[in-house]
Structure 1
């Protein structure tokens, strides 16, 4: 057995050397990246040197671990469509669009390299640097897999070397660490770049992040401190999960922690997040709105129905998103994650989805926010017909889930949800959707309704301070169907293009590519600066006026937004959805298939 392990280890090293040599020799358009280690293949762990998180003794050690997951027995349906042959002129147009996106990425990446290397972000107007996520080089790590996917080999090698040599997760100057953001950006970014490239330096660094984050689970009930005082933990001080915790920050760690367990063979990471999933599953049928969890949960008391507001958008979003994605990662068409996903979608359709009132009457949906209260044991609810940019991931979520579970109804809702966000984009003079808005709604979400200006005006009157609706619409330049725009910013978010990408990959319909290009031209015109692209303060400015730039470019611009735009114009076999699943920061992980990783 020992001889066998050494033989496998030698073969793995040779494969890494060959992959490194091959990387610069050929186009990657249809080439499969090298396979990383699989469960059962020996993993050479770095030595337990002076890295504090490997030496730290836990106050509440876990004494029994759930076993590593293996691929489900189900043969899941394919996610990707069968793509028709492409006409030469259509291919030429697609490649020109793809290359334009790549050029925009290179522009933003160059600004980061020249002005903020190894810092979290570059300011795209003034060319300054700032740290927003621990000072661990968020833009660098978030961009690693995009660099690989876009075949920017020299920049990828330089970024990997910098991450390996110059970024340490031993400590930070930040007072607290957001465990969720650190997981999706840093752990997710490193694991995905490892899955794509097979570079062992990335896995070693991901293991460092995993060791650090696992210390946040050292609480009496083994639920994490989501806004975490890393420094107190390093001193060995006692810590406990918080009574007020966002659902998304508690329920969106599963993909990254499970993937880390799969590639290292260390079951404790998967054990930690599986415990959360089991608590969510137990609570789901018995919440005030069965099938859904509130935005706020009490992690200290393990109460997953502590809050009163239920939504799929901000602060809850990725907890729902990860349900079908965990099913995809593990190859399970039934069981814990698939069942929770199915129940949550049915509850969303019953309680959250609404049809917006629009001049065209096109069939579309948005998920609103449900406010629940309990009086004398009876639950009363009120639906707020809001439409934040963050909810625009839902179309893609249902497209993925609908394909995995072969549910045609979910696929129909996916198209309607995605069309809703595209309508919101088209409705604004800049061609870009605002961060948050309130909409007038049809009385019946099941079918479109005819345009009625009086219904729109009544919605404006309810949403705004006292005043005449026509004057409010004129003064605030409200597009037809919009009742209020509380936050008119665009901060380079990826959620809408994410759903358009998934609709294209699941249907093969090239019209989704055309919609994506319209989105891109509007976004680039709105946000471009001489250095890169910047968030803007107001997408609803008067015609002819340029919106003021916010001088901000979060790492997800390079890690998510530009990646999805690039992939929708790339060959569909590049990062196939039948082989990969994206985390909420658009980092692709190899799906577990047939009991092995990526096989």
Structure 2
């Protein structure tokens, strides 16, 4: 029997306090809360709730500058949210998403009310309590969970499950936890179906699981598995432990298996550990962490390289693709976020320490490295007792593997403004990954800029890591910041010291800053002010040969690239950029020599760039990131917002061949009403992009939330030392701020 033991280190007990906990966001109206009386007996596990009664340490987070301006910008973002939300309420209430031009419903997630649940945390942060009440009533009365149909495990988990857990944390309403637990029971059956590795299929059947024994008996059985019951009753914190008989807690739903899986699809331990903490049921965390363990034990070609495709039946990677973007993104993102959530140095899954691959080779970690006995490191079966090194360390290893694949443009590339409104010439940075990335840098990969900054900032005790005793390098950085890039040697700039913990974290933080500039440039250099899905890096040039390491043969490979002619860009007074030539050819527009092709010019209102700008602002306090975020918001308003004052009717849209008559058969009387909401764009490579007909729920859940938070007081609204964001931007309170109910 595979034993999973999570030892929580440095547990601090919360003393009972007579004063009410201080909320981080405004107090939720009492009528929005629902609580249930619990049995008086103590021989059962208990749910937990959020109790935050302290302020962040002074000086940790930036103080809000120019409060009047920030207030105005927050109100503008809130108004945009309501414009999108009201379009959904009017034309697609209860469906997953809205097609705002045809004013039709989109139930791609089988009608789980995706936009409603995805938006609750945003509305709580924006203090839109009337709208939260509408969402609450729908979840209570109309949320249909057991449809019996198959749906994406990943999308259901990040949007619906995480949305419900976050709603519970922000409101204290147990309705959301009850729904989350029921949904978690369905999803976790996919993990259970793989008895050996817990690596699931990405397709789940929404069928009601059968419980044996009864629910209350099951809670008591879980309680019986707690070895140290005295500690459990003394601690206000939830206890995460190994169930002695995990197979007996199975929920008896057979799920389909598949031959392959991407690691992002099941890298959902933030959601499932959070669910275990709040319900007191360790089963969810057990399964999710065993899938994580199986992945970390799979054979790696070198330290930190965790390819994105794995075979569930063997627990081994079956392709060598190592990409920071799609199919791997949230897995890498959650390594550091779970570390932050638990505030642990190690997650232990047994006795021996696995520091890399499972073939006996022992990698020497730079952080917290110690000489350890290597006798037990040959692990062939993940059911053996093992111990996984700190998830934060695994994150460092992965990010350093990506850092090795960073490419820096060796010339004056990005023409961006600093916080002092001074033009700064900076190199273009991106991660080339392996051959599977096809030399493209994706919008989706831009989450990594904020993730790198957040992780390095956290691991350096909530401070920006510096390069110690590297005066020459620091002088070069100063020259770069002044825009004097020609005065330094390119090789000196690219050579980042990596000999100490501090230097490693400093290089990762700088990687986040540099990637953030490149990602913002995808917007700043676009004719429409909005970014496309990809930058094609094959055009990067100066006939310079860039060296990268091929992971298959572990030998150096040379990428030869051809030079492209630069186009000339100039700065407008509003910090936006225009192309002086205004003659975009069939290929697209240029960022220096990197080209955004026509086929890559789609914009679907993605959040990753504004997400990273939010993290970069929170960690640096540099107001230029607020300006960057505001520029992007204005471009969304200009290009993606459907008209209000113009009273543009659906008839006009039909005449322009934007929608067909068949799109409005369900609502024939709505043809002359104005359009509302925001919509995706099919091509950002022109000044007036053509519009598509969809508004993804993540635009409300993520994009507008991160824009709003960028102009909030970082010490008062969702401080990052008290909350962690899921990959769908749902804030979840850190584990140390949970308190068991019935604890006094």
Contact 2:414 2:521 in 1 (8 A): no
| Alpha-carbon displacement from aligned partner over 1:65-124 (angstroms, at most 9, x marks no partner) | xxx9xxxxxxxx9898442463xxx21111111100000001111111111111101112
- Partner SS for 2:274: helix
1:23 is aligned to 2:28: yes
Structure 2 partner of 1:210: 184
How many angstroms does 1:337 deviate by? 1.0
How many angstroms does 1:277 deviate by? 1.6
How many angstroms does 1:597 deviate by? 8.3
Contact 2:430 2:515 in 1 (8 A): yes
Structure 1 partner of 2:394: 340
Mapped to 1, the partners of 2:641 and 2:708 lie a distance apart of: 17
- Partner SS for 1:475: coil
Cα pair distance change 1:135/1:354, threshold 3 Å: farther
1:455 is aligned to 2:563: yes
1:115 is aligned to 2:128: no
Cα pair distance change 1:42/1:138, threshold 3 Å: farther
- Partner SS for 1:309: coil
**Counterpart pick for 1:184 among 158, 182, 188:** 158
Structure 1 partner of 2:133: 157
Structure 1 partner of 2:649: none
Structure 2 partner of 1:462: none
Contact 1:534 1:549 in 2 (8 A): yes
Contact 2:91 2:105 in 1 (8 A): yes
- Partner SS for 2:322: strand
Cα pair distance change 1:483/1:517, threshold 3 Å: closer
| Alpha-carbon displacement from aligned partner over 1:283-319 (angstroms, at most 9, x marks no partner) | 3xx423541222221112111x211321010111111
Structure 2 partner of 1:506: 619
Contact 2:203 2:256 in 1 (8 A): no
How many angstroms does 1:591 deviate by? 0.7
Structure 1 partner of 2:264: 248
1:574 is aligned to 2:717: yes
1:587 is aligned to 2:714: no
1:365 is aligned to 2:434: no
| Structure 2 counterparts to residues 93-242 of structure 1, below 5 A | 93-172=69-148, 174=149, 176-219=150-193, 220-221=195-196, 222-230=198-206, 238-239=254-255, 241-242=257-258
Contact 1:184 1:585 in 2 (8 A): yes
- Partner SS for 1:528: coil
Using the size of structure 2 for normalisation, the TM-score is 0.63
**Counterpart pick for 2:325 among 309, 313, 318:** 313
Mapped to 2, the partners of 1:144 and 1:355 lie a distance apart of: 42
**Counterpart pick for 2:628 among 499, 512, 515:** 515
Contact 2:603 2:681 in 1 (8 A): yes
| Alpha-carbon displacement from aligned partner over 1:461-504 (angstroms, at most 9, x marks no partner) | xxxxxxxxxxx973323314224524210000000000000001
Mapped to 2, the partners of 1:594 and 1:19 lie a distance apart of: 12
1:493 is aligned to 2:606: yes
Cα pair distance change 1:78/1:591, threshold 3 Å: farther
Contact 2:447 2:611 in 1 (8 A): yes
**Counterpart pick for 2:273 among 249, 258, 274:** 258
1:413 is aligned to 2:392: no
| Structure 2 counterparts to residues 477-492 of structure 1, below 5 A | 477-479=588-590, 480-483=592-595, 485=597, 486-492=599-605
Cα pair distance change 1:444/1:257, threshold 3 Å: farther
Contact 2:681 2:692 in 1 (8 A): yes
**Counterpart pick for 1:535 among 672, 680, 684:** 680
Mapped to 2, the partners of 1:79 and 1:349 lie a distance apart of: 32
Contact 2:414 2:427 in 1 (8 A): no
How many angstroms does 1:430 deviate by? 0.7
Using the size of structure 1 for normalisation, the TM-score is 0.77
| Structure 2 counterparts to residues 294-309 of structure 1, below 5 A | 294-303=307-316, 305-309=317-321
Cα pair distance change 1:393/1:355, threshold 3 Å: farther
- Partner SS for 1:23: coil
Contact 1:435 1:488 in 2 (8 A): yes
**Counterpart pick for 1:564 among 703, 706, 709:** 706
Mapped to 1, the partners of 2:404 and 2:724 lie a distance apart of: 28
Contact 1:353 1:365 in 2 (8 A): yes
**Counterpart pick for 2:301 among 288, 306, 318:** 288
Mapped to 1, the partners of 2:632 and 2:44 lie a distance apart of: 46
Contact 1:112 1:122 in 2 (8 A): yes
Cα pair distance change 1:356/1:556, threshold 3 Å: farther
Contact 1:124 1:553 in 2 (8 A): yes
Structure 2 partner of 1:83: 62
* Structure 1 segments unaligned to the other structure (5+ residues): 1-10, 26-33, 46-67, 69-76, 373-382, 447-452, 459-471
| Structure 2 counterparts to residues 28-43 of structure 1, below 5 A | none
Contact 1:369 1:386 in 2 (8 A): no
Mapped to 1, the partners of 2:64 and 2:284 lie a distance apart of: 43
Contact 2:440 2:534 in 1 (8 A): yes
How many angstroms does 1:353 deviate by? 4.8
**Counterpart pick for 1:278 among 281, 284, 293:** 293
Mapped to 2, the partners of 1:145 and 1:421 lie a distance apart of: 26
- Partner SS for 1:310: coil
Contact 2:204 2:255 in 1 (8 A): no
Mapped to 1, the partners of 2:584 and 2:123 lie a distance apart of: 44
The structure with more helix, counted as a fraction of residues: 1
Cα pair distance change 1:264/1:238, threshold 3 Å: closer
Cα pair distance change 1:594/1:82, threshold 3 Å: closer
Contact 1:354 1:441 in 2 (8 A): no
Mapped to 2, the partners of 1:258 and 1:182 lie a distance apart of: 16
Mapped to 2, the partners of 1:131 and 1:268 lie a distance apart of: 31
Cα pair distance change 1:508/1:42, threshold 3 Å: farther
Structure 2 partner of 1:467: none
